[in-house]
Every structure is written in structure tokens, then in C-alpha cells.
Amino acid sequence: MKIFFGLCLLVSILLSVPLLFMLIKEKGFYNRFAAILAISSNVTLFLMLIGFVDGRHDMYVDIALSFTVLGFVSSVIVAKFMSGGGDGNDRD
């Protein structure tokens, strides 16, 4: 089973290489932000697969979940900031 998870880890790393090139080559903020969000979800997958390969999946799943929550909260904050809102005075 460790071989299967190791192969899954290798394939997911190879599929993430284009995201790194997208992050470096793209000029627009939104394209780079989308690449960062995709890389963030891939890091969650990497952590979980490393946990299964290592045999301590309970610890790595906890770390992956906390990283995912942190990534979600930061993406909501950046989206709110980029939309021009956030001052709390949205009354009509």
C-alpha cells in the first residue's frame, strides 16, 4: 500500500509543476491567485499522502486540515480586499 501512495504522491507532484510555471510566468493578479489556491489544495493532498506513506496519517491529516482552513480564510480575506469592500459601511 505504501507503494501505491508513493506513486500517487509522485504523480501529484508531477501534475503540480505546471502550476508553479503558471505562478511564475503569469502577469495578472487573478491568474497568480488562482495558481496559489490550486497549489494550496495540492499541498493538502501532499501532506495527507506523506502521512499515509509515513504511517502516521492521523498527525498529518490534522496538519493538512489546519493548513486548509488557513488557506481558505486567507483566500476569503484577499477576495474581500480585492473586491474593494471590507470597511463595514455597506449600508444603503
AA letter at 69: V
Please, what is the Cα angle at 75 between 69 and 77, to 5 degrees? 105
Grid cell 498527525 in the structure block, residue: 59
Task: Tell me how far apart the alpha carbons of residues 89 and 15 are, in angstroms, rounded to a whole number.
Answer: 43
On the question of pLDDT at 90 being above 60, the answer is no
Residues 17-29 pLDDT 10s: 888 888 888 888 8
pTM of the predicted model as reported, rounded to 2 decimal places: 0.73
On the question of pLDDT at 52 being above 60, the answer is yes
Residues 56-81 pLDDT 10s: 888 888 999 998 999 889 888 888 88
On the question of pLDDT at 92 being above 80, the answer is no
What pLDDT sits at residue 89? 60
CA distances from 14 to 11, 35, 64, 79, 87 (A): 5, 15, 20, 29, 42
CB 64 within 8 A of CB 47: yes
What pLDDT sits at residue 91? 54
